[in-house]
Structures are given as C-alpha cells and as structure tokens.
Amino acid sequence: MSVRVIGSEVREMFGSIAHRYDLTNSVLSMGIHRFWRRVLVQQLPTSKDALVLDLCSGTGDLVPLLERRFGTTFAGDFCFPMMSSGRAKFRSQRFSIPRFVQSDALRLPFADASLDIVSVAFGVRNLENLDKGLQEMRRVLKPGGHLLVLEFGQPRGYFFAPLFRFYSAFIMPLIGGLLTGNLRAYTYLPKTSREFPCAEAFSAILQKAGYEDARYRSLTGGIAYAYCARRPK
C-alpha cells in the first residue's frame, strides 16, 4: 500500500527531527550521501553565472556544491526548523550561510522562467502532489533550464535487494529513532523510499510533466538515483 503524504504533517515531521537530521543522514548512509550529491551536480557542466534554486533544501547540504559549480544558489524549504538548523551549522563551520527562502514547492515564490537550474535532493517523494510540484519547478525554470533530482530507489539483485530491504525496514527506524527520538519519522522515510518510482518509471513521470531529455544514473547499486531533465526551449 502506498504512503499518503500530507504537506503539513511532512513539515511537522521534519521540524521534529531537524536538530539531528544531518547526523542521522550521515550515520544511516555511512557518509555515502556526500558522494551522491557530488554525482548529482556533475550531471551538468560547470557554469559561473547560473541562478539556481535548491528546493526541499533542508539544512542546505547541497548548496555549497551548487554554488561552487554553477553560481548564485537559493535554498528553498517550507520547514523553518530545518532551515534554522542549516543556518546554525554553516555559521558554526564558518562557511557562508545559504540564502534560505521559505518556499512551498507547490507554490514557489519565484517568477516564471527566472532560474537556470532547480535541484531537489531527497525531497520529491515527500511532496503532497508530485505532479503539481514538478509543474511548479518547470514554471520557474527558463526554457532550456535543467532540473536535477536526487532520490532513493530500490536496489536490485538477489543478495543486495533483500539485504537493503531488511536494513531499511528494521535498522534504519531503530537507529533513526534512537538518534532523533522520532521512530515514526524513520519508519515513514524508508517506507516512502521503498515505494517511490525510480529509474525509467521516474523518468517517465518527468517526461509526462513536460520535461525532455530525462536521463539518470543509478548510485550504489540502485539505493539512490541522480536524474537530470530539461525544460524544452
């Protein structure tokens, strides 16, 4: 049975785990999420004067990579505690603080055709209305602009697939629950990952939402996927 996602509940859930979100991410992925983020930005060539929106930006982990590779980057999220944890993290590391903009992915506070790149890391599967979110991202992209998506998938293989299913169904909730005090969130998050369409299925969704040239790379045996697609000119 698929997971029903309600925006206000998602916002509340991320608000309750924001204080430990980064730590939990690093522990649960054993740090591999950093490699996945690097692969995501490498889907597009370097450019210095692009305008970028990192949507569902959370604590802003992707922002420095985007800034370095493409140019000015805004970090949009609708969960204030996630952005506020992000601000504190960057300040304590003496890095420049991302330009956080409180934004709902379903009603973006950006003008039509104003951005060169929109990126979303581990955010699209949490949208209450995926099609509407993809349409909004398309609206704010300039014609010829690109969408980058990093999202979980379902690993394949006789050995790896069941092993990962066990890890995500039992170990992730246990560790995530212990670290954040919110077992429910870390039962919900892996469950949505197990059910979210990946690879060709998500590329087809992108095409249906009006993007072209959708391509993807499978990462770490299909645990995650990096997608890239373009708003037609």
Helix, strand counts (H, E) of the chain: 10, 7
Please give the Cα distance from 132 to 21 (Å, whole number).
26
Q: List 215's β-bridge partners, or say none.
A: 228
Given the rule CB under 6 A, which of 88-96, 115-123, 160-168, 195-203 is the region that contacts ligand SAM? 115-123
User: Does 105 sit near ligand SAM (CB under 6 A)?
Assistant: yes
Given the rule CB under 6 A, which of 119-127, 154-162, 165-173, 199-207 is the region that contacts ligand SAM? 119-127
Contact 2, 39 (CB under 8 A): no
- Considering only residues 137 to 196 of the shown chain, the ones binding ligand SAM according to CB under 6 A are none
22: how many CB neighbours lie within 10 A of its CB?
A: 18
User: Does 56 sit near ligand SAM (CB under 6 A)?
Assistant: yes
Angle between helices 21-29 and 7-17 (to 10 degrees): 90
The first and second tokens of residue 214, run together, are 């959708």
Pattern of binders to ligand SAM over 64-103, x per CB under 6 A?
-------------xxx--x--------------------x
Please give the Cα distance from 215 to 196 (Å, whole number).
17
Residue from the set 24, 43, 85, 126 that interacts with ligand SAM by CB under 6 A: 126
Residue from the set 14, 164, 211, 216 that interacts with ligand SAM by CB under 6 A: 14
Q: Which residues bind ligand SAM (CB under 6 A)?
A: 7, 10-11, 14, 25, 56-58, 61-62, 77-79, 82, 103-106, 121-123, 126-127
